[in-house]
Structure formats: structure tokens, C-alpha cells
Amino acid sequence: MLSLLNGLPDRADAVSVAGRVMSGEALLGAASAVADEVAGAAAVAVHAEPALETVVGVVGALLAGVPVVPVPPDAGVDERAHILRDSGAELLLHRIGTAPPAATPPALPVDATRRSATSRPDVTPDHPGLIMYTSGTTGPPKGVVVAHGALAAGIDALVDAWAWTPDDILVHGLPLFHVHGLVLGVLGPLRVGGRLRHTGRPRPEAYAAAGGTLYFGVPTVWSRVCAAPAAARALTRARLLVSGSAALPAPVFDRLRALTGHQPIERYGMTETLITVSSRADGARRPGHVGLPLAGVSTRLVGEDGGPAARDGGSVGELQVRGPMLASGYWGRAGGLPMTADGWFATGDVATIGPDGWHRIVGRASTDLIKSGGYRIGAGEVEDALLAHPAVAEAAVIGVPDTDLGEVVTAFVVAERVAERELIDFVAARLSTHKRPRRIHFVPSLPRNAMGKVQKKSLADRTGTAT
């Protein structure tokens, strides 16, 4: 499988998921047994719950050269049916005793105790490895095809940036159906040769007890770690803390640094590109910034006029990227990724780039670039300002259509004992006045997906608008 497993550690505790441990030898044997059963299939789906069987099933299908379709275990009936139908998966792998609801194609239980020693030739770099379904702004989710070569290139770029070695013990409790938890969090340590300790769920106490050197989390995880100071202080022995999948609020960055002594690494990527930008293990880290392009990656900013946006740290533009870890295309759709005429992938994300090359992600062009009174305002900047207020626990900002201003800056805030006017004035004092929220809605919580990203469409629906 293009050496994605060439670093598989020959250790008794190579992989641990929710307390169940498997050696490198046992994993390879069990995965080979799965490969025997799925060989020749056009694609296989995996019920991607946090379990050893998920790891065995994914690795087994990759060994057999069969594209893997991770299916979220909490997917609704319609979402699951669409993924299975659109991908053409011929089997659905699952843990014994936990067959998903009535499913087509046939369900195949993964027996982690079985072993096989069948040898297979390596696949070619352009052979499809994963088909990962991601929601766009319109229509049903699309299957992003990530080839074996792109998976290897993406992991290797992070090995360089994060000084990732076989001595590292990676700890995380992230879902196994996204790039963060599956590609970085499972295939990463298997390729590098380090150990994986998946905590089942990302509880602070589980992170503290895991004894890792490298920890992955989304901002929600790190916020909860900071709320458990004893667990946070246990992470002082780690080498790196990495945050991704959503913007890490600056107050959480600062709190982590105070409790653990670590400045967390932040990075940027998406399903279609894997990780393309990151701060480095041997370099600086800046709150609110995702760092520099990885080795082999180029980036550029494009303004609304189609020309280059200034790299001055303040001018915003759409981020476009190119590099060896980009996906091949969308499953079942002709051609590759939609690229610009000169060969760049338009991410749909709005960013700034400083004179020194440091990137800051403002947000999605569709939801996080607010055009109000002739100004272009990044939602993330306003959110950071709100989060700096001691009474604010969470904040999300959107633009709501307005007949006078075009859009008005509108905030949804989880906070206690603070008035709307106080927060508006607080932001106006920290940022330009035109960036202040005109309206603030106090809510008990923000709607988030499995990776901790705020679902801003849900917030827009509450205002009677659409994003």
C-alpha cells in the first residue's frame, strides 16, 4: 500500500483504542485477514466508530488496494444511505455485535482475532485510498478521493514540520471519519512508526493519563482541558500539543500555555487538501495564526477582482493552494478537483498572509466574510475580540442581511452576567468601530459538529436568513 505501513511499530502496544491494545504484528495479521475478504471490491465502507475494528478494517482495505469509505457512526438514515449509494461500496465493515441500522450493501463484521499472512504488491501512488464525504454549501455530501500518494505526501510533510519520530506516542480521542482523526491520527503513526493511544472519547482525564508525547485536539477539546487544570498540568511532559479542524480562540491558546507550558501548534487544511499550512515544532507559534506552507506547498491570496491580494497581514483574499497532498477529485464525477486555469485549488476560505508568510484564516468566504457598509470584516477577528471579555465562554459571528448596510455583524454568545451594550462597546474599543456587533444574541450553547466546528447555517436559520 505504497509503504503507508512501512513504519508499523513491532511493539506489543503499537495501537490502543479505548483501552484495547494490539501489537503491530497482530494489527498486520488481522488487517491481512480483512484484505483477503474485501479484495477485488470497487469500494468498501467502514462504520467508523472509535474501536480497534475500525483501524483493522481501514488498514485491511488499504492493504487490498480497495478504496475506503469512512461512515460516521452517528450518521442519520438519509446521510448514511447517500454515502453508501453514492460511493458504490460493496461491503460495510463493522465491529462484531454493532451492525449499523439496516444497510445496503451487506454488512461484514471485522474479527480482530483473525490472522492472515497473505502478501500483496504495493499499489501505485495514484490509486484511490480514501473516499471521504464532505458537505458543500449546496447539495448532498461529495466523496473526496484521496490517493495513496497524497496520503503519504501529506503525512511526510507533517513529519518534517512537527519533527514526528518513531519515539512519539500520539494521543487523541477524535472521530475516525475525518482527516484529523483518521489520516493524521491513525495512518500518521502507522507510517511514522510511532504508537497510537486513542482514548475513545477526548476527555481531559483520559488525555492526562495517556502518557503521550504528541496530542491532537480540536478547540472544544482544548477548552475542556483548560477547564480541568489538573489534567492540563499533566500534559507538561508532552512534546507537542496540536490544535486543528477549527480556529483555536486566543484565550484558549493563552490558557493552555499557562497551564501546560506549551504553545499549541495550529494548522490548516481541508478534506480536499489534507494539511497544507502549519506552525513548526522548531519555530514560533502565534495565537490566531496557522503558520507557514508545508514543504512542497504553495499558497496565494486572490482578491475580489481576481488579482493578487497584498501580503501585508491585513488584506483579505481567498486562499488558493497547490501541493502533492491534494485530492484526486470527487468520486463518481468526471475530472479532478475544480482548479483554476493556472492550476490552483480555490479553498473557499478567506485568509490574510503577512509579509513574513504567516497565515491567518478568517473563515469561509460564504459565512465568515461579512460585507457591511462598504467594509469587509472577518468574523474570526470579531469572535476573538468577544472571547477576550472575561464573561464570554463561546462566541460565533455571522453577517445578517440588512437593507441599509448590506449585512450587519451579528454575534451569538454564551456568557453570564454581561449586557449586550457592554459587549458591543468592548469590541468597538478593541477593534475598528465598524467591526463591532450591531446585534448580540445570548444562547446557552453553540451548535457544533463532531469536529467542534460551529454550524453557522443553524445560527443563520435562527435569524430567518440563509448563509
Local structure of 20: helix, strand or coil = strand
CB 361 within 8 A of CB 290: yes
Are residues 302 and 201 part of one domain? yes
- Cell reading at 405: 448596510
Are residues 387 and 353 part of one domain? no
Range 281-317 burial, b when 16+ CB lie within 10 A, else e: beeebbbbbbbbbbeebebbbbeeeeeebebeeeebb
Last-in-domain residue among 131, 155, 184:
184
Q: Indicate the pLDDT class of residue 330, thresholds 50, 70 and 90.
A: very high
What percent of the chain stands above pLDDT 70? 95
- Whole-structure pTM value: 0.84
Local structure of 215: helix, strand or coil = strand
The larger pLDDT score, comparing residue 30 to residue 404, is at: 30
Are residues 96 and 148 part of one domain? yes
Q: pLDDT digits over 385-417, tens only? A: 899 999 999 999 999 988 778 889 999 999 999
Quick one: pLDDT at residue 335?
Answer: 81
CA–CA gap between residue 173 and residue 44 (Å, rounded)? 24
Quick one: pLDDT at residue 136?
Answer: 52
User: Looking at the domain assignment, is residue 1 inside a domain?
Assistant: no
Are residues 55 and 161 part of one domain? yes
Are residues 211 and 352 part of one domain? yes
Domain with 401 in it: 369-462
Task: Look up the CATH number of the domain holding residue 281.
Answer: 3.40.50.12780
CB 82 within 8 A of CB 131: no
Q: pLDDT digits over 282-308, tens only? A: 999 999 999 999 999 999 999 988 899
Are residues 345 and 288 part of one domain? yes
- Cell reading at 425: 462597546
User: Looking at the domain assignment, is residue 256 inside a domain?
Assistant: yes
User: Looking at the domain assignment, is residue 373 inside a domain?
Assistant: yes
Q: pLDDT digits over 157-177, tens only? A: 999 999 999 999 999 999 999
User: Looking at the domain assignment, is residue 433 inside a domain?
Assistant: yes
User: Looking at the domain assignment, is residue 8 inside a domain?
Assistant: no
User: Looking at the domain assignment, is residue 10 inside a domain?
Assistant: no
Are residues 374 and 449 part of one domain? yes
Quick one: pLDDT at residue 137?
Answer: 46
The larger pLDDT score, comparing residue 14 to residue 98, is at: 14
Chain length of the chain? 467
| Dihedral class, residue 371 (left if φ above 0, else alpha if ψ from -120 to 50, else beta) | beta
Q: With the C-alpha atoms ordered 357, 359, 364, 368, is the resulting torsion angle positive or negative?
A: negative
User: Looking at the domain assignment, is residue 292 inside a domain?
Assistant: yes
Range 450-466 burial, b when 16+ CB lie within 10 A, else e: ebbbbebbebbeeeebe
- Cell reading at 348: 473557499
User: Looking at the domain assignment, is residue 332 inside a domain?
Assistant: no
Quick one: pLDDT at residue 102?
Answer: 62
Are residues 79 and 91 part of one domain? yes
Quick one: pLDDT at residue 9?
Answer: 67
CA–CA gap between residue 264 and residue 232 (Å, rounded)? 12
Whether residue 23 has pLDDT greater than 60: yes
Are residues 454 and 424 part of one domain? yes
Q: Please choose, from the candidates 447, 449, 450, the residue with its C-alpha nearest in 3D space to the C-alpha of residue 458.
A: 447
Task: Look up the CATH number of the domain holding residue 397.
Answer: 3.30.300.30
Q: Indicate the pLDDT class of residue 134, thresholds 50, 70 and 90.
A: confident
Mean pLDDT calculated for residue range 34-45:
97
Q: pLDDT digits over 175-217, tens only? A: 999 999 999 999 999 999 999 999 999 999 999 999 999 999 9
DSSP-derived secondary structure for 108-155: EEE-TT-------PPPPTTSEEEEEEE--SSSS-EEEEEEHHHHHHHH
CA–CA gap between residue 181 and residue 178 (Å, rounded)? 6
Are residues 318 and 220 part of one domain? yes
Last-in-domain residue among 137, 162, 184:
184
Q: Indicate the pLDDT class of residue 56, thresholds 50, 70 and 90.
A: very high
Whether residue 138 has pLDDT greater than 50: no
What percent of the chain stands above pLDDT 90? 71
Mean pLDDT calculated for residue range 40-67:
97
Are residues 154 and 50 part of one domain? yes
Question: What type of residue is 352?
Answer: T
Whether residue 104 has pLDDT greater than 70: yes
Mean pLDDT calculated for residue range 133-154:
84
Mean pLDDT calculated for residue range 248-252:
87
Are residues 106 and 39 part of one domain? yes
Quick one: pLDDT at residue 464?
Answer: 66
Burial of residue 40 (number of CB atoms within 10 Å: 0-12, 13-18, 19+): exposed
The larger pLDDT score, comparing residue 274 to residue 135, is at: 274
Whether residue 467 has pLDDT greater than 60: no
Number of domains in the chain: 3
Quick one: pLDDT at residue 461?
Answer: 81
Quick one: pLDDT at residue 276?
Answer: 98
Last-in-domain residue among 160, 184, 208:
184
